[in-house]
């Protein structure tokens, strides 16, 4: 063959090989940056997923920051990030502005008290009814620890804490108490770790946390100084055998997975995009719903059911 | 050069204009009197009463200044008039170091040190019960944050007073303290007032440190041990829900505008005071 023909055939062969290789090994070529921000609740899980995804696709970089569910929503609707982490239900107003949510896993908000609480033993054996929580956080009718456990001689005042930043944890807890975050009374502390710190340092404090901030990851028990207040689900004035699952994170996770722990305050955790997930973000979320699910339990969250995962995957196409 | 000057002077008006534009939506929907004087803050219900936030801002800033001014003035006088050169050379950088510490670090330190101090020692001393997250906590943290500015500028001002003035006073038989109290301070007063204004400006705007210790309860405080909710904290905390609740973004921009107006009117008042003092001294 003449020289020109040879070069032409060589070029065609190279192009064919490259296309073939690209199609055959799609993973090798994923590259770019994904920006994620939002809920404290989903942050530890997203850190795991990001690490794993970056390990599989070394050319991908994931920029992750917390700041609360509200910030995540504002950031994603404002185009500042590719996806937001949201730890509450998505409002109709947000859907109107283009928010598309995909559920990725599940966790819960738990009520917390200080380990040195004067009536701790009563709290652990009797639990606290939902009605009492509402009286503490919403109506303000219950103000002393004695009223919570039915011992009027204890006059110690309850120091109520809530979240100051717009977040999913407070909104979820408020939904359980049939109101919105703005309806919660109490001193507003910034951030989930901040709330845990506040209750940890105040013997008369009561607050709520995402379960991954209330429990120590290494020991599986509530963090030092904090105790999780059992919810008296059937309101019979005591913590029954089937209501007693707060000692370790594993037991609590099982209770949430089986639905014994109510939803709210347990809830699905979402990632949200504006309009639709595209490009690198879409690949990431696809992976989260398939390969990423194996990391969910060991990080302290609950996997979604297979049917739910299939449903969510459909939202991506 | 003229363009640069005009540009920097006009930025304030530019910011105010943008804020007014975006904030005007809520101004047209709700009466101004309700926005400024109502105490009910329930955005989901459409209730936007800024009164607790305006009052909260004033309480925290005023307390910070009350705590800061005496300490700063006395420190500045000591550094300028009494300290030996070696002491001054150690103290000044240490004070200036405070200016470099990020706001969040102050906030964290406030949560770990100031809040328990108030909850366990100061409040029982005064006979009040509090969680520690209060106007006092915000004021104390803010006061420490404005120390470097006021001390630095005041000290410079005192040192700028010509030495002849002091010599004249001492020659007439005044003691060192009398000289400082009656003569030097009078000459330095405009500069000191300017330093205090600078401090106030920083105090008004500090967000992160204050919101971590002040309690964030949307109710006008009635004592220094009550929690409060200053305007910058409102904006920082609620930024997250801006896109989610109708009118909320407009309300927060109005909050920013109110804050701008407060700082602006404060600056104007301070300028007037400054002019009066300078006229009086002439």
Q: Write out pLDDT tens, residues A122-138.
A: 999 999 999 999 999 99
Cα–Cα distance list, A68 to A166, B45, B108, B178 (Å): 6, 22, 18, 57
Compare all CA atoms of chain A with the CA of B212 and give the residue at the minimum distance: A190
Query: Which superfamily, per CATH, for B54-230?
Result: MetI-like (1.10.3720.10)
Give residue A18's pLDDT band: very low, low, confident or very high (50, 70, 90): low
Give residue A1's pLDDT band: very low, low, confident or very high (50, 70, 90): low
Distance from the A115 Cα atom to the nearest Cα atom in chain B, whole angstroms:
17
Q: Which residues in chain B have Cβ-Cβ distances shorter than 8 Å to A188? A: 215-217, 227, 229, 237
Which run of H or E residues covers position A21? helix A3-24
Instruction: Report the residue from A157, A185, A201 with minimal CB separation from B116.
Output: A201
Per-run averaged pLDDT (10 residues), chain B, 282 residues? 87 86 83 86 87 92 92 91 89 87 91 91 84 92 91 89 89 89 85 85 84 92 92 88 80 88 82 79 64
Compare all CA atoms of chain A with the CA of B48 and give the residue at the minimum distance: A182
Q: Which residues in chain B have Cβ-Cβ distances shorter than 8 Å to A161? A: 131
A229: three-class secondary structure by DSSP: coil
Distance from the A70 Cα atom to the nearest Cα atom in chain B, whole angstroms:
4
Q: List Cβ neighbours of B36 (8 Å cut-off, separation of 6 or more).
A: B50, B51, B54, B258
Q: Which residues in chain B have Cβ-Cβ distances shorter than 8 Å to A71? A: 239-240
Is residue A91 pLDDT above 80, yes or no?
yes
How far is residue B230's CA from residue B178's CA, in Å, rounded to a whole number? Answer: 41
Q: List Cβ neighbours of B223 (8 Å cut-off, separation of 6 or more).
A: B128, B135
Checking DSSP bridges between strand A226-228 and strand B41-42, what pairing results, if any? unpaired
CB A172 within 8 A of CB A264: yes
Q: Which residues in chain A have Cβ-Cβ distances shorter than 8 Å to B240? A: 67-74, 165-167
Q: Which residues in chain B have Cβ-Cβ distances shorter than 8 Å to A74? A: 239-244
Residues 195 through 254 of chain A touching chain B, CB cutoff 8 Å:
197-198, 201-202, 205
Q: List Cβ neighbours of B230 (8 Å cut-off, separation of 6 or more).
A: B53, B56, B57, B60, B61, B138, B210, B211, B214
Distance from the A86 Cα atom to the nearest Cα atom in chain B, whole angstroms:
11
Looking at residue A237, what is its pLDDT? Answer: 87
Residues 39 through 68 of chain A touching chain B, CB cutoff 8 Å:
67-68
Distance from the A280 Cα atom to the nearest Cα atom in chain B, whole angstroms:
25
Percent of chain A's residues with pLDDT above 70: 96
B215: DSSP letter: B
Tell me, yes or no, if A89 comes closer than 8 A to chain B by beta carbon: no
Tell me, yes or no, if B129 comes closer than 8 A to chain A by beta carbon: yes
What number of CA atoms fall less than 13 Å from residue A67's CA on the CB side?
22
Cα–Cα distance list, A47 to A41, A44, A55, A134 (Å): 11, 5, 12, 34
Looking at residue B261, what is its pLDDT? Answer: 85
Helices B185-205 and B51-77, axial angle in degrees (round to 10): 140
Tell me, yes or no, if A176 comes closer than 8 A to chain B by beta carbon: no
Q: Do B216 and A164 touch (CB under 8 A)?
A: yes
Is residue A107 pLDDT above 60, yes or no?
yes
Higher pLDDT, A14 or A102: A102
Among candidates B229, B232, B231, which has minimal Cα distance to B215?
Answer: B229
Looking at residue A28, what is its pLDDT? Answer: 57
Burial B162-189 (b: 16+ CB within 10 A, else e): eeeebeebeeeebeeeebbeebbeebbb
- Displacement of CA B279 from its chain's centroid (Å): 26
Residue-range domain boundaries for chain B: 54-230
Structure tokens at B148: 């470097």
Q: Do A198 and B246 touch (CB under 8 A)?
A: no
CB B53 within 8 A of CB B218: yes
Q: Do A187 and B129 touch (CB under 8 A)?
A: no
Tell me, yes or no, if A140 comes closer than 8 A to chain B by beta carbon: no
How far is residue B146's CA from residue B64's CA, in Å, rounded to a whole number? Answer: 8
Looking at residue A22, what is its pLDDT? Answer: 53
Q: Which has the minimum average pLDDT: A81-95, A177-191, A283-297, B35-49?
A: B35-49
Structure tokens at B225: 């041990």
Q: Do B239 and A183 touch (CB under 8 A)?
A: no
Compare all CA atoms of chain B with the CA of A78 and give the residue at the minimum distance: B243
Q: Do A188 and B237 touch (CB under 8 A)?
A: yes
Q: Please name the residue ranges forming H helices in A120-276.
A: 120-126, 130-134, 145-149, 168-176, 192-201, 211-214, 249-257
Q: Do A73 and B241 touch (CB under 8 A)?
A: yes
Cα–Cα distance list, A124 to A119, A149, A243, B89 (Å): 9, 10, 11, 59
Instruction: Report the residue from A74, A91, A164 with minimal CB separation from B211.
Output: A164
Compare all CA atoms of chain A with the CA of B46 and give the residue at the minimum distance: A182
B77: three-class secondary structure by DSSP: helix
Q: Which residues in chain A have Cβ-Cβ distances shorter than 8 Å to B43? A: 182
């Amino acid at each position: 063959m003449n020289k020109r023909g040879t070069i032409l055939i060589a070029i065609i062969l190279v192009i064919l090989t490259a296309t073939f290789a690209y199609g055959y090994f799609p993973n090798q070529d994923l590259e770019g940056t994904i920006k994620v921000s939002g809920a404290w609740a989903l942050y530890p899980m997203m850190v795991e997923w990001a690490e794993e995804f970056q390990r599989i696709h070394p050319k991908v970089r994931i920029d992750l920051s917390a700041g609360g569910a509200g910030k995540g929503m504002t950031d994603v609707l404002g185009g500042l990030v590719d996806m937001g982490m949201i730890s509450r239900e998505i409002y109709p107003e947000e859907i109107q502005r283009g928010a598309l949510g995909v559920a990725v896993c599940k966790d819960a908000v738990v009520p917390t008290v200080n380990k040195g609480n004067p009536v701790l033993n009563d709290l652990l054996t009797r639990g606290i009814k939902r009605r009492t929580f509402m009286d503490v956080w919403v109506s303000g009718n219950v103000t002393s620890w004695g009223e919570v456990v039915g011992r009027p001689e204890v006059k110690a005042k309850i120091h109520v804490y809530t979240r100051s930043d717009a977040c999913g944890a407070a909104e979820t807890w408020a939904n359980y108490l049939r109101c919105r975050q703005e309806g919660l009374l109490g001193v507003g502390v910034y951030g989930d770790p901040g709330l845990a710190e506040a209750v940890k340092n105040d013997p008369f404090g009561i607050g709520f946390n995402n379960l991954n901030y209330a429990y120590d990851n290494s020991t599986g028990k509530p963090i030092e100084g904090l105790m999780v207040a059992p919810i008296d689900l059937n309101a019979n004035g005591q913590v029954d055998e089937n209501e007693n699952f707060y000692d370790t994170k594993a037991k609590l996770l099982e209770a949430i997975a089986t639905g014994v722990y109510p939803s709210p305050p347990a809830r699905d955790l979402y990632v949200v995009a504006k309009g639709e997930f595209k490009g690198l973000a879409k690949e990431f979320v696809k992976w989260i719903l398939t390969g990423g699910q194996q990391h969910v339990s060991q990080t302290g969250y609950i996997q979604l059911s297979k049917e739910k995962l299939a449903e969510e995957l459909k939202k991506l196409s | 050069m003229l363009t640069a000057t005009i540009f920097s002077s006009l930025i304030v008006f530019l910011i105010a204009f943008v804020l007014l534009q975006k904030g005007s939506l809520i101004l047209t929907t709700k009466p101004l009197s309700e926005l400024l004087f109502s105490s009910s803050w329930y955005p989901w219900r459409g209730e936007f009463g800024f009164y607790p936030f305006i009052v909260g801002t004033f309480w925290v800033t005023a307390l910070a200044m009350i705590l800061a001014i005496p300490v700063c003035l006395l420190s500045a006088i000591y550094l300028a008039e009494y300290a030996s050169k070696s002491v001054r050379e150690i103290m000044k950088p240490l004070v200036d170091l405070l200016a470099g510490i990020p706001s969040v670090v102050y906030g964290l330190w406030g949560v770990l040190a100031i809040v328990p101090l108030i909850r366990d020692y100061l409040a029982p001393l005064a006979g009040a019960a509090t969680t520690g997250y209060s106007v006092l906590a915000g004021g104390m943290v803010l006061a420490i944050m404005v120390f470097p500015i006021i001390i630095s500028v005041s000290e410079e001002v005192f040192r700028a007073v010509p030495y002849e003035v002091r010599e004249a006073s001492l020659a007439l038989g005044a003691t060192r303290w009398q000289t400082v109290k009656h003569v030097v301070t009078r000459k330095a007063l405009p500069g000191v007032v300017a330093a205090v204004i600078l401090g106030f400006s920083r105090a008004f705007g500090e967000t992160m440190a204050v919101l971590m210790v002040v309690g964030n309860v949307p109710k006008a405080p009635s004592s220094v041990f009550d929690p409060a909710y200053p305007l910058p904290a409102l904006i920082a905390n609620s930024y997250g829900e801006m896109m989610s609740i109708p009118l909320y973004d407009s309300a927060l921009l109005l909050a920013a505008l109110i804050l701008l107006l407060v700082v602006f009117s404060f600056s104007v008042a301070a300028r007037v005071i400054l002019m009066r003092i300078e006229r009086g001294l002439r």
